[in-house]
A and B are shown apart, each in its own frame.
Chain A
Amino acid sequence: MTTRRTLLAAGAATAVVAAMPASASAAPSASPLLGDDQIAHLLRRASFGPTATSLAEARKLGVDGWLDQQLTPEKISDSACDGLIARLPLAGASIATVRAKLAKHSYDGFKQLGRAAVARAAWSNRQLFESTVAFWANHLHVTAPSSGVWDSRMDYDTQVLRKHAFGRFADMLKASMRHPAMLTFLDNRSSTKANPNENYARELMELHTVGLIYTEADVAAAARLLTGLTVNAGGTYVYDGAKHVTGAVEIIGFKHANATAGGGEAAALAFADHLARHPATAQRIAVKLCQRFVADEAPASLVTKLTKVYLDNDTAIKPVLRALFTSPEFAASIGAKTRTPFEDLIASIRALGLGPEASGVKALDALYNATVNAGNAPFRWAPPNGYPDVAAAWSSPSGFLLKCNNHLNLAAGWYPSQLTRPADLLKSLVPTLPATYGALVDALAVRLVGAKLPAAHTAAVLSVAGKLPTSPLTASDKSLAGHAPYLIALVLDSPSFQLR
């Protein structure tokens, strides 16, 4: 059989992205736009963006203290966010509950799931946990909405992703292997003894674990080994030995006699354990974590380090995260990542200090739809590989305009209008008016970005109001209230705020 794996093609693929002009990896590590504040750097990366409160708390705790706190999410009070999520009762509901509450193939479960992801990113205090959940959701990606998983995708979120996000990858992988959402999304549920379906077998290796090191013979053997893992009429997982293809397999170093139909499930899970612990998997996860949290071009030294931590800790995630965020490579990476459209929207909400709506979910609807328009709504990426996580994949004129439009809509309170806002947004961001417009933009930038904008950018921001940096500012300046949303939005539009 022809070997279809073309490492060359895969290599070229990465490079196509890297060669695009808008790669932010070219930004220097000691960023001239963001300065060298390590605490702000940590919160830009490990959370969905600093808030005034989270920044103050992290400064008090220090890097290690903040990581200790965030890696123990069950001890972090999150009652406000929990209250908000309670308005979305199907977001994490079991398959039985969804089936009982919704008509068949209803998309209402997906709607709540997507809105819950927006809410948690914006307002949960368990920011590192939510960031890590988002990472795994993108790694073991099951598209939502997609019609086949209308009843199971919400349970997948609870029982696979959230349950194991801070646990061991091997456990998460095995949970996904026995979940109706994954078995449906990648078609294993309809695989047969006579003609096994290859979809899940291929992506289990290529996307979830070892990457493009498999052969077509490996795919065929894995597809046989995975037969029998299916879904019953009630929509729940079942192993059906009558559908299992027995017979010895050897797949990427995994050898199993696979002698009995009754032992097929155990053999498949042993394969998952083998894959989770494979050095190629360790390295891929290390690279992807670096791309998520450090830089588009994963630093080789850090990949080596994290690969070892992952293997030494039997696929446990927390030690890997701790090693990553306390590494010199991370410290040196300020300004090396760019915000995705989703991250830009959420970071704006957090920087502006906007709160969730007092009741209902209209604002969440609007925010979710804004991410749909940008092509970056939670879980909505169509193919099974998850959203790309490099700047070049998101750097587009359309995306840029959508970000700018979000900034002004939020700053002015036009849309969504239901969010809780400070009585006077400008005053909440800059409590004491400085003497000049230039100093006002400086103060806004320090608060929203974490650093002053370069002088030319400050002047550009002020041009929207017909002001110069030296223009005097007094409390009696009647034009200020009208200018304020535009000035605030333009600070968020700046190159500085685009960096994560």
Chain B
Amino acid sequence: MFDFDCREKQVRRRTLLGGALAGVAVAGVSTTMAYAAPGYTGDTLVVLSLRGGFDGLSAIVPIGDADYYKARPSIGVPKSQVIAGDGTFGLHPALAPLLPLWQGGKLAAVHAVGQPNPTRSHFAAMDAMENAAPGTSIRTGWLDRMLGVTGASGPLAGVSIGNAMPHRLYAGATPDVSMASVDAFTLAGESAKRPRAAALRAMYADAPAALAGQALAADRALTATTSLRATAYTPAATYPATELGAALKDVARLIKAKVGLATATVDCGDWDMHEGLGTGVKGQRMYDNLTDLALALAAFTADLGDEGMKSVTLLTVSEFGRRVAENGSHGVDHGHGNAMLVLGGGVRGGKVFTKWPGLSPGALVAGDLAATTDYRSVIGEILQKRCGVGSLAPVFPDVAPSSFGLTLAR
């Protein structure tokens, strides 16, 4: 296993002085939000990356496919345990917190999705998934290209939350901001008497471009979030005390503050379940991970409310799905075909969209669920219907949008 654990991290985010003096930084800075979505009128697109290889066959269970149960004698989720079962598919019982959203049509799944040039290497697969333009000379991340196409500008158009490191989905020329958290995004010691931000701005104005980008983006984003931090955020829902919960809470905070957030990225890991994936009961690894995921998504949706969710679409991606047959460790090795979740006010949910290839031995590709839908075409459908993107070519070259009717047009 490799832990990329949403639950166990006891991370102290406090930057002692930064936190204490943050309020002082307001001096001399306009407190009005001058950056309300310039150039962009689409949904805020939230991309949740499930790191490690999400097992879509455990989350969205193909209960109508007898071969699923043959391949997974010890970890298959029994038909009797799934929720919202329709005879063909059912949700893992740990997704119960999302059941109202499923039944209310705000949450959908797309099954048997994958990449055009699959690889079972985590790292090559993640890179390819985020680049999303295999076989071309394009080297940027697809979200960078999406931002460029929509013309969304402003210091907080593209934000990654939960990690200080830059997100590779944004790799490229369009500016983006990474924030470990909104409250931790501060400059220590800033005051009218010691105008440190201004000194940094001056110092980096003529610095080599390779070093200046981050400093100047930090400066712009600091200014744009100062008034936001001045008031403690009180969400309209209770988030789980997990990293994912904290990150989605910050995303909701930025959305509600109308800071011009066009896209947000959040990561959630620990899905690489080679061992001990477990059965569909509490205390088992998949059950607990899906519970954490579901609780965080449910809180996010409740926090934004129906009105807020009208302009938000969240989708999940993962580098690959997992082998159909379980291994001797009661886990599943790296595979390919997978499921995506799509959540939003404009989603036509409550069902699984798929061109289901089946799990009979002859239908598998090297032991994997065949991918009948390119994950990019699913995103493409959302980009066109919800995010105001016209031609997909600049974002996903040579990809046609799916025609599932996943979402209403905005």
Contacts and interface: CB of A to CB of B under 8 A. Distances in A.
Contacts of B334: 198, 202
A159 interface: no
Contacts of B188: 404-405, 408-409
B51 interface: yes
A219 to B, nearest CB: 8
23 contacts: A4-B120, A9-B125, A10-B121, A10-B123, A10-B124, A16-B140, A16-B168, A18-B139, A19-B140, A20-B171, A145-B8, A190-B275, A197-B328, A216-B120, A372-B12, A383-B4, A383-B123, A397-B218, A399-B165, A404-B188, A404-B200, A490-B196, A498-B211
Nearest to B126: A13
Interface residues of B, number: 94
A94 interface: no
Interface string B181-199: 0001111110000111011
A500 B310 CA distance: 48
A323 interface: no
Contact of B203 (A25, A384, A495): A495
Q: Which 10 residue pairs are nearest across A and B when measured between Cβ atoms?
A: A192-B328, A13-B127, A382-B4, A397-B218, A195-B328, A9-B128, A460-B203, A190-B329, A460-B202, A146-B3
Contact of A19 (B139, B187, B276): B139
Contact of B269 (A13, A199, A382, A454): A382
Given A13-B123, A396-B165, A460 B15 contact: no
A469 interface: no
A147 interface: yes
A381 B148 CA distance: 31
Interface in A367-418: 369, 372-376, 382-385, 391-402, 404-405, 408-409, 412, 414-415
Given A20-B172, A459-B202, A495 B177 contact: no
Interface in A292-341: 338, 341
A187 B208 CA distance: 45
Given A190-B275, A198-B333, A19 B124 contact: no
Interface stretch (B130-138, B342-350, B385-393): B130-138
A2 B366 contact: yes
A194 interface: yes
A115 to B, nearest CB: 14
Among A186, A391, A400, A486, max chain B CB count under 10 A is at: A400
Contact of A187 (B217, B222, B275): B275
B171 to A, nearest CB: 5
B355 to A, nearest CB: 20
A480 interface: no
B10 to A, nearest CB: 8
A22 B213 contact: yes
A206 B203 CA distance: 42
Given A197-B328, A397-B217, A373 B131 contact: no
Interface string A171-198: 0000000000000011100111111111
Contacts of A4: 118-121, 366
Contacts of B275: 187, 190, 197, 199
A219 B335 CA distance: 13
A193 B3 CA distance: 25
A459 B187 CA distance: 20
Interface residues of A, number: 96
B123 A19 contact: no
Nearest to A214: B121
Contacts of B128: 6, 9, 12-13
B292 interface: no
Given A9-B125, A13-B124, A495 B212 contact: yes
A18 to B, nearest CB: 7
Contact of B17 (A25, A384, A409, A464): A409
A192 B274 CA distance: 12
Contacts of B187: 401, 404-405
B232 interface: no
Contacts of B276: 190
Contacts of A219: 120
B117 interface: yes
Interface of B: 1-5, 8, 10-13, 15-18, 51-52, 117-128, 130-131, 133-135, 139-141, 163-166, 168, 171-173, 177-180, 184-189, 194-196, 198-200, 202-215, 217-218, 221-222, 269-270, 272, 274-276, 325-329, 331, 333-334, 365-366
Interface of A: 1-2, 4-6, 8-10, 12-13, 15-27, 33, 107, 143, 145-148, 185-187, 190-199, 202, 206, 212, 216, 219, 338, 341, 369, 372-376, 382-385, 391-402, 404-405, 408-409, 412, 414-415, 454, 456-457, 459-461, 463-465, 486, 489-490, 493-495, 498-499
A21 B121 contact: no
Nearest to A144: B3
Given A2-B365, A9-B124, A392-B166, A398 B179 contact: yes
A224 to B, nearest CB: 12
A401 B185 contact: yes
A190 B328 contact: yes
Given A13-B124, A457-B203, A490-B203, A26 B222 contact: no
B206 A456 contact: yes
Contacts of B210: 21-27, 338, 391, 395
A12 B195 CA distance: 42
Given A212-B124, A382-B51, A463-B199, A15 B139 contact: yes
A433 to B, nearest CB: 21
Given A5-B121, A147-B5, 16 more contacts: A6-B119, A10-B119, A20-B171, A146-B1, A197-B331, A219-B120, A373-B184, A375-B164, A382-B51, A383-B4, A383-B51, A384-B2, A415-B17, A456-B206, A460-B200, A495-B212
A10 B124 CA distance: 5
Contacts of A216: 120, 366
A398 B131 contact: no
Contacts of A27: 208, 210
A373 B163 CA distance: 8
Given A6-B124, A197-B329, A382-B51, A375 B163 contact: yes
